[in-house]
Structures are given as structure tokens and as C-alpha cells.
Amino acid sequence: MSELRAADIDRYLALLLMPEAVRDDLLTLMLFNAEIAAIRDRVREPLPGEVRLQWWSDVLSGERDGEANAHPVASALRDMMDRRAMAAAPLMAMCAARIFDLYDDPMPDRMSYEGYAGETASTMLQMSVYLIDPAISAETATASGHAGVAQAVAGHLMMLPITQARGQVFIPGDLLAATGLDRDRFVRGEDRAAISTVVRAFAGFGREHLNKAKAALGLMPAAVFPAYLPVSLVEPVLVRAEKLGAASLDTSLQLPQWRRQWSLWRAARRGGL
């Protein structure tokens, strides 16, 4: 688990509160996600990143079994997929969606963002539910869809200082346009009033999906809720973004670790967001 702790401490902390019987499989899924999410930070140019994502896609389709056996995460992933009869298609779609991360193209609009989040964060939640209870997972697509968008928004709000510095903008273009901004003006950070407005609008977009996720989760069996524990960390980020506005470009929106641990424990204890 030390690899996950180093790569994604929030999912690591959530994993400790998930059912022990499936914890190793959930760990494997989370390590795979950490691998493909970090590719942008490990390459200097997009093409090597695309090659790496294609390698993972080939692993998932069973085309690189020899190489996969020599890679601890890839080997564990293939073993888990075989044992649990997990479909490769959603995970391959995650790899395809991550190609967007490698470039600095702007996110066109909210619909495009929902599609991106649906194939990344939402898929992670839905596959986590599958590992906990495959029979119930067919009923949780709506909850996973909305929760994943909310989670992605919170993640991109926390990354604003990093993404702005490298010229990458995940805030949907239609939200930028509504405040008189475009990608270049946002990256330059000159119009702080407009940036405050669009940051709050983006947080509001996340809150809309979070509220829908809460409503959908209220109809789900309690047994599946542990899969959604990481989503319990979303709302405090949205609150801070709404309060800070443009200052989110210069200030960390992440709560201290002890508060995140407490939020996760409280959500696990009450079985809800």
C-alpha cells in the first residue's frame, strides 16, 4: 500500500475504510488509476505519454502479457480482471480519456467535461462498486456519473496553481466565455474579478453534480457506499473555491490531512456523504 500512499494519499486513506475482503483488488484498481493519471507529470512531450497510455490499453486487451508479467501493477491488474471477470472496455476508455491530459487544449464545454469525468473519475467509482458487489453495480451508474463529475471538479480546482502555470485549463470553455474569458486570458490571470466569477461557477457546476450524487446514493444499498468514500472530500474543496475565487490560483484548496482523515471516517461511520 505504500505505493498508493505516495501517489494518492486520499484514496489510500479511503481504502483503509473499505471492506477488507476486496481491499487488495481495490488497491490494484487505484494503483492503475494513479499510474495513468501521473503520466503527464512524467513526460516532457505528449507523444511519449500517448505511447505509455497505449501500452496500458494493450495490457488491458491482453496484447502484452509478457511485458505485463514483469510490471507489478500491470500483472496484478490482469490477474484481478481475470479473477473478477472485469470488463476491459471501461478501463481502456480511461486510458483514451487521459490523452486529453497530455495536451494544453482547452476543455470545450460542460458536456465535454462531463464526458471526460465520466470516463475517468466516474469509471473509477463504478469499477470500485463492481469490486465490492458486482450484482449491485448495474444500479449505481447514475450515482457514479454525478459523483465522478463532482470529484473531478474538486480535483481540478485543487490543481489550479499547477495547471495554470503550465497553460492547461480544465474549466469548460462555455463557463469561461460566459464571464468574458478564454483560455489565454485565464492562463495570464489578469482579470481577477472575472476569474473569481468563473472559479465560483465551476465550483457551482461541481456542486450541482454532488447534490445529484447524494440523492442517487440515498436510494442505493448501504453496502456499496464505501466505494464512494473519496467523494466525501469534495464538498470542502468546493466551499473553499467559492470563498476564495481567483485566490484559488495561488492558494491550496486542500484541507489538512487530519481533517481529510476525519471527514472520511465520519462518512464511513454514517454511511453517507
Q: How many CB atoms lie within 10 A of CB 133?
A: 16
Q: Please say if the pLDDT value at position 130 is more than 90.
A: yes
Task: Yes or no: say if 240 and 200 are a contact pair by the CB < 8 Å rule.
Answer: no
The residues near 11 (Cβ < 8 Å, ≥ 6 apart) are 4, 30, 33, 34, 230
CATH architecture for segment(s) 105-273: Orthogonal Bundle (1.10)
Cell numbers that stand for 4 in this block: 498508493
pLDDT tens for each residue of 49-99: 999 999 999 999 998 888 888 999 999 999 999 999 999 999 999 999 999
The residues near 125 (Cβ < 8 Å, ≥ 6 apart) are 143, 144, 147, 148, 151, 227, 228, 230, 231
Average pLDDT of the residues in 159-168: 94
Q: Which of 161, 172, 56, 67 is nearest to 113 (CA)?
A: 172
Q: How many CB atoms lie within 10 A of CB 184?
A: 10
pLDDT tens for each residue of 206-226: 999 999 999 999 999 999 999
Per-domain residue ranges of the chain:
1-103, 105-273
